[in-house]
């Protein structure tokens, strides 16, 4: 009987060792499967990260290109704006109106010259200046008009002082 007990104890011991060996193998395979799943997850995450970085890089490249196009268009529009502002300034300076005024002054001076002294350039210049002053007096406004109306006729009509009178003083 002693031998049967030893065999029974040995068998129970071997069954226990076999049972624990199976449990260790199961644990080992479960850990290896978990490790494989974790590696696959890490690989998937790195692939997604690479795709995200590629997408981000592509988006950044597109943004840079779009920004360059917008900057180029902005420069072109700024140049158009400057050209249009220059055109507006040119249109504001109504040269045709100024030319009409000048022609009216020349016409009046010519008519006056023909009546007073035809053929003399000094008479022409005098008539031209008088016509210009007359036109300025008629079209002036504000303080300039007041000054022209008050002082211009008096200055021309004021008699010059004789030289002897200047010497006496």
**pLDDT, tens digit, for every residue of 81-114?**
888 888 877 776 666 777 778 878 888 877 777 7
Q: Which of 38, 66, 93 is the last residue of a domain?
A: 93
Sites in the chain below the pLDDT cut of 70: 92-95, 117-122, 140-169
Of 63, 78, 93, which closes a domain? Answer: 93
Give the integer Cα–Cα distance in Å for 40 and 46: 10
Note whether 132 and 108 are within 8 A (CB). no
Same domain, 2 and 81: yes
Domain match, 103 and 133 both: yes
Find, among 151, 119, 115, the residue nearest to 131 by Cα.
115
Determine the Cα angle at 92 with ends 87 and 94, to 5°. Answer: 110
Domain around 83: 1-93
Residue 125 lies in a domain: yes
Does residue 63 fall inside a structural domain?
yes
Region label for 128, one of left (φ > 0), alpha (ψ between -120 and 50) or beta (otherwise)? alpha
Helix axis angle for 121-139 and 95-116, nearest 10°, is 130
In a domain, 167, yes or no: no
pTM of the predicted protein model: 0.35
Looking at the fold, whether 79 and 6 belong to one and the same domain comes out as: yes
Helix orientation angle between 142-157 and 121-139, rounded to the nearest 10 degrees: 140
């Amino acid at each position: 009987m002693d031998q049967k007990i030893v065999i029974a104890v040995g068998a129970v011991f071997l069954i226990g060792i076999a049972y624990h060996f199976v449990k260790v193998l199961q644990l080992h395979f479960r850990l290896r499967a978990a490790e494989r799943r974790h590696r696959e997850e890490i690989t998937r995450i790195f692939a997604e990260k690479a795709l995200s970085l590629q997408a981000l890089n592509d988006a950044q490249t597109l943004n840079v290109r779009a920004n360059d196009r917008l900057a180029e268009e902005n420069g072109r529009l700024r140049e158009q704006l400057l050209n249009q502002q220059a055109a507006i300034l040119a249109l504001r300076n109504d040269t045709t109106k100024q030319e009409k005024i000048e022609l009216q002054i020349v016409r009046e001076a010519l008519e006056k010259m023909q009546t007073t002294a035809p053929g003399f350039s000094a008479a022409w210049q005098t008539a031209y200046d008088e016509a210009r002053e007359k036109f300025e007096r008629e079209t002036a406004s504000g303080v300039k008009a007041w000054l022209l109306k008050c002082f211009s006729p008096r200055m021309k009509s004021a008699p010059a002082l004789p030289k002897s009178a200047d010497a006496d003083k």
